[in-house]
Amino acid sequence: MNRTAIERASLAAGVAAACLLAAVVIAGQTPAVKFDSGRAWEHLRQLVAIGPRPAGSPEIETTRSYIKKQLAASDVSVVDQAWDDQTPLGRTHMVNLIATIPGASRDRIMISGHYDTKLFRQMRFVGASDGASSAAFLLEIARVLKARRNPFTIEVLFLDGEEAVIDWVGTDHTYGSRHYVAAAKRDGSLASIKANILVDMIGARDLQLRRDSNSTPWLVDIVWAAAKRQRLDSVFVPLMNTVEDDHLPFTQAGVPSVDLIDLDNYREWHTAADNLDAVSARSLQAVGDVVLAALPQIEARLKTPR
Ligand SMILES: [Zn+2]
């Protein structure tokens, strides 16, 4: 090809791209956005490489730095919500990271998950699914949604202190979500959160998500219907379970919430085997595809006066 031919070819390509963009604009749609599990997988790998990341540790501080750097690379703004909480092992410094992608409305759809790992002294617990998969997913979904035209503001919430410091009894769990909801109640911002999609332990190779009876039924229905349309009903199975997780402070405060979690099927849960061998990028892709497919239905439902 000579220079003129190259110029002609690139001009033609430019015109074609402009026509495509015009067609998209005419149809009134935002260009399709796609969850890239390759990127999510790289985040998961980097987080696991930091090592155990329990609340209050130097390693969770490193984790926060990583999350903030990646959000900055996606041009997504983030603020710290820091506090010291009383745990069975004394006062512990915790930080939720609140990332915001402004939309047409100031009302918010939240996508949340925890980034801490459970403290184990007798083993090296790196939480590939339990802690890394949710944080990695949130980083990639933030990048994707930043490129989308969002009718609602999207808040991507990275929660600290989901794990029990000792045992999941009393208030020794869900420190981050309880703190967030209490603060949002106090400052009056809770009412603008219209829906909350929580992800937790979504990395398992043979991921199996069940409908959680503590989640909000209409939100569960929308997500499971989206999974069926995506032919992912082998991952989003028609079985029930009942889960206590970071969504409960939200549902108890009246925020519709759905927990996407594989608790029953993950043999590696809270063992040293919850490492890179136990997780797969394909599972992250399935959840990404379903959440993105469900989002327009959630938005439509929230826009309908009722
Ligand atoms: Zn856990």
Residue 220 has φ and ψ, to the nearest 5°, of -60, -45
pLDDT at position 286, please? Answer: 98
Residue 261 Cα to ligand 1 middle (Å):
11
pLDDT at 304: 87
The answer on pLDDT for 6 being more than 60 is: no
pTM for the structure as a whole: 0.90
Tell me, in angstroms, the distance from the centre of ligand 1 to residue 274's CA.
10
Q: How far is CA 248 from CA 49, 160, 173, 209, in A?
A: 30, 15, 11, 18
pLDDT at residue 69 tops 90:
yes
- Residue 126 Cα to ligand 1 midpoint, Å, equals 11
**pLDDT at position 27:** 44
How far, in Å, is the centroid of ligand 1 from the Cα of 53? Answer: 12
Q: Which of 79, 252, 57 is nearest to 163 (CA)?
A: 57
pLDDT digits (tens, 9 = 90+) for 209-239: 999 999 999 999 999 999 999 999 999 999 9
Q: What's the average model confidence in pLDDT over 135-148? A: 98
- In this prediction, residues 70-76 reach a mean pLDDT of 98
Please tell me the distance between residue 200's alpha carbon and the centre of ligand 1 in angstroms: 9
Quote the mean pLDDT of the chain: 92
| pLDDT per position as a tens digit, 13-68 | 544 544 444 444 444 445 578 999 999 999 999 999 999 999 999 999 999 999 99
> What does the pLDDT read at residue 30?
53
Give the pLDDT score at 276.
98
- Say whether pLDDT at 200 is over 90: yes
Cα-to-centroid distance, 8 and ligand 1 (Å): 58
How far does the centroid of ligand 1 lie from the alpha carbon of residue 163, in Å? Answer: 6
Predicted local distance difference test score (pLDDT) of residue 24: 45
